[in-house]
Structures are given as structure tokens and as C-alpha cells.
């Protein structure tokens, strides 16, 4: 069950304006339309916009007219561009739709939040991050089912507007996700460990494996394939998210390097990898046994809702769309 005030009636839900129609933005446009919402999108690439229109979706390459339309309709604006394009996108929003509710789907929240503050748009902004994706990119690989049962972080920062927060949470729920409330910098510290570091480890494993030549690549099977999957992601996108979360990623990377150096020392001195392998087995077990629980007793907008939501999110609490 989820809170009644978060269950939107689709007929009265605001339209959605998606800026950027890559894998995440394109999937979001598809999912929003499937949920019954009126939605349209913008993409700088003519090819992607044409492809979206060919698939029956409302898409444009004119950012100004797209934002003016959002302004006139009160649409929720979703920033779905890579981190290097966020500042320019926010400048356009500030010029043409400064009073609209705004969210984003960028994988780093602290840097986006700072950019929003620089643009003077904080009053109507609530960050978001759907924890979903593949190694592919572009409109063609989008999927309306991408967010079904996925976690969608809704930034729960001090002073956030309760009405905008509810609109962003409702959008995530309408796309089929479960909502996890989290403070932006806490989110960044967490995803450095479970999203950004895995990309760097996958790149490292891919390079090390390829250095073994044709025989090594010919023998590679499941563990190598699974371990290097995200190394197939577009390098520019990987760089943008890793470099955008520099400080938190450095901490996680240092810890990983210490573990590997310790394993090397143990193997050299004692002929054993037991310390790392046993600890890793236990850590994987902790992940597999992690359980979510439903947040049912926190009302958005009440005096202490932000602190209570963040605490619930830290402890595994989620908001779900009611089955009824």
C-alpha cells in the first residue's frame, strides 16, 4: 500500500515534458504515455526526434517551443540529458518555463542540485534517479517496461516543496517504479558504490581480459560477460556520471583498491585469497537478503515529513502504487 495522497488520478495528473530522448528519457516518455498521461519530448538530434515521431510519439527538436508548451500547460519538466548538458538545459528552462515543476533522471544528484541553485530554479525542483538502464543508449532501445518494479530515488532535501515532491513521486509510480526517498548527497555516496564503481571495475576487467589475447577472450564465459556488461556503455555517458560524482567515487575507489591490494598481499605472502573471498560472499548474501518495506504512515507536507522520509529510505522503506 502507498499513501493515498500520492495516488494520482491520471485524468487530473499534469502532463510531462521530457528533455532528452535517450534510453532513460525515451523510456520515460513511453511509460508516461502508456500510463495515460499527456506527454511530449525534445531531443537535439533530428534523427532521434524523427524516430520517436515515427513510433507515434510527440517529439520536437525546438527546445524553446517545447518549453513554451510546457509553460502553458503546467507540465512536469523532466531533464534527461547527460550531466554536461544540464546547465544549458536549465538556462533554457529559466528563460521559458521558470514556474514549472522540474525533476531530472541524471545519475548524480548533488551536482544537478547545485546547477539548479545557480539557475535560480530551486523552488520548483525535486531531483530524481530511476535505478534502471542497460548498456545500450538512444531512442531505439527505450522500453516502457524499463522502470517496472525498479527503484526510483526521489530527492528529499531540506526545504523541498511538498507539492512538487508529490508530483515527482506520482510520475515515478505511474511509470511502474517504487519510490525511495533520499537526500541528494546521501544518494550520491550510495550510487558511487553500487553504480559508478562497478563501471570502473567493469572497464578494468575488460582491459585485463583483453590483454590476455585471443585465447583469453575465446575462453571467456559467464563471469567475464556479466562482470564486463556495463563496459559496453557509451564512454561519454560513463565519464559524465563518474566524473560528476568525483568525491564520493574517490572514497569508494580507494576502499576497493585497498581490498585488492590486501588480496594481492595475502596471495603473495600466504598463498590465500580467503579473506577477500569470504568477505565478498558474506556481502553478496547481505545484498540478496535485503528486504524492502512499505512506507505507510508518513504524510507528505506534515511538519517532520522530510526527516522521517529520509530515515525510512535509509532503512529500506519504499512507496508503492496501491494495487487498489
Could you tell me which of 136, 87, 132 has the C-alpha nearest to residue 105? 132
Residue 323 pLDDT:
43
Residue 4 pLDDT:
38
Residue 5 pLDDT:
54
Judge whether residue 170 has pLDDT over 80: yes
In the beta sheet, which residues pair with residue 141?
Answer: none
Question: Is the CA virtual torsion 199, 205, 211, 216 positive or negative?
Answer: negative
Question: Is the CA virtual torsion 121, 125, 131, 134 positive or negative?
Answer: negative
**Reported confidence tier of residue 11, pLDDT bands at 50, 70, 90:** low
Which residues make Cβ contacts (< 8 Å) with residue 196, sequence separation at least 6? 107, 241, 242, 245, 248, 249, 252
Judge whether residue 291 has pLDDT over 50: yes
Alpha helices in the chain (DSSP H): 23-34, 46-54, 63-73, 86-96, 110-119, 162-174, 184-191, 197-210, 213-219, 222-227, 235-244, 246-270, 274-289, 305-314
Residue 219 pLDDT:
97
3-state secondary structure of 5: helix
As a whole number, mean pLDDT of residues 309-322 equals: 94
DSSP state of 271: S
Which residues make Cβ contacts (< 8 Å) with residue 192, sequence separation at least 6? 245, 248, 249, 251, 252
As a whole number, mean pLDDT of residues 153-160 equals: 97
The CA-based angle 189-312-77, given to 5 degrees, is: 65
**Reported confidence tier of residue 237, pLDDT bands at 50, 70, 90:** confident
As a whole number, mean pLDDT of residues 84-107 equals: 97
Q: What is the mean pLDDT of the chain?
A: 94
Residue 2 pLDDT:
47
- pTM to 2 decimal places: 0.90
Instruction: Compute the distance between CA of residue 165 and CA of residue 169 in angstroms, rounded to an integer.
Output: 6
- In this predicted structure, which of 162-166, 235-239, 248-252, 281-285 has the lowest mean pLDDT? 235-239
Judge whether residue 123 has pLDDT over 70: yes
As a whole number, mean pLDDT of residues 252-261 equals: 98
Largest CA distance in the chain: 70
Judge whether residue 8 has pLDDT over 90: no
As a whole number, mean pLDDT of residues 58-65 equals: 96
List C-alpha distances in Å: 172 to 106, 203, 267: 14, 31, 47
175-196 pLDDT, tens digit each:
999 999 999 999 999 999 999 9
Judge whether residue 135 has pLDDT over 90: no
Strand order in the sheet with 16-19: 59-60, 39-42, 16-19, 76-79, 102-104
Amino acid at each position: 500500500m502507498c499513501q493515498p495522497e500520492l495516488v494520482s488520478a491520471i485524468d487530473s495528473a499534469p502532463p510531462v515534458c521530457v528533455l532528452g530522448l535517450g534510453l532513460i528519457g525515451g523510456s520515460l516518455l513511453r511509460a508516461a504515455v502508456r500510463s495515460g498521461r499527456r506527454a511530449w519530448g525534445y531531443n537535439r538530434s533530428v534523427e532521434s526526434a524523427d524516430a520517436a515521431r515515427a513510433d507515434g510519439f510527440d517529439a520536437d527538436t525546438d527546445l524553446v517551443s517545447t518549453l513554451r508548451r510546457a509553460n502553458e500547460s503546467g507540465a512536469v519538466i523532466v531533464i534527461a540529458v547527460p550531466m554536461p548538458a544540464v546547465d544549458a538545459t536549465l538556462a533554457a528552462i529559466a528563460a521559458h518555463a521558470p514556474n514549472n515543476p522540474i525533476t531530472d533522471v541524471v545519475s548524480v544528484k548533488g551536482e544537478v542540485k547545485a546547477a539548479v541553485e545557480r539557475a535560480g530554479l530551486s523552488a520548483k525542483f525535486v531531483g530524481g534517479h530511476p535505478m534502471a538502464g542497460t548498456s545500450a543508449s538512444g531512442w531505439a532501445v527505450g522500453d516502457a517496461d524499463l522502470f517496472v518494479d525498479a527503484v526510483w530515488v526521489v530527492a528529499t532535501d531540506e526545504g523541498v516543496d511538498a507539492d512538487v515532491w508529490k508530483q515527482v513521486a506520482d510520475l515515478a509510480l505511474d511509470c511502474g517504479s517504487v519510490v525511495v526517498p533520499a537526500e541528494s548527497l546521501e544518494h550520491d555516496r550510495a550510487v558511487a558504490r553500487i553504480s559508478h564503481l562497478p563501471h570502473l571495475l567493469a572497464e578494468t576487467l575488460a582491459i585485463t581480459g583483453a590483454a590476455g589475447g585471443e585465447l583469453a577472450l575465446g575462453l571467456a564465459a559467464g563471469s567475464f560477460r556479466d562482470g564486463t556488461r556495463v563496459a559496453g556503455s557509451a564512454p561519454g555517458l560513463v565519464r559524465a556520471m563518474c566524473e560528476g560524482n568525483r568525491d564520493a567515487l574517490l572514497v569508494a575507489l580507494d576502499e576497493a583498491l585497498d581490498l585488492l591490494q590486501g588480496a594481492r598481499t595475502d596471495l603473495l605472502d600466504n598463498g590465500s585469497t580467503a579473506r577477500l573471498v569470504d568477505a565478498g560472499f558474506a556481502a553478496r548474501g547481505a545484498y540478496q537478503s535485503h528486504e524492502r518495506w512499505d512506507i505507510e504512515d508518513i504524510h507528505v507536507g506534515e511538519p517532520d515529513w522530510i526527516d522521517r522520509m529520509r530515515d525510512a529510505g535509509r532503512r529500506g522503506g519504499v512507496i508503492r502504487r496501491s494495487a487498489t
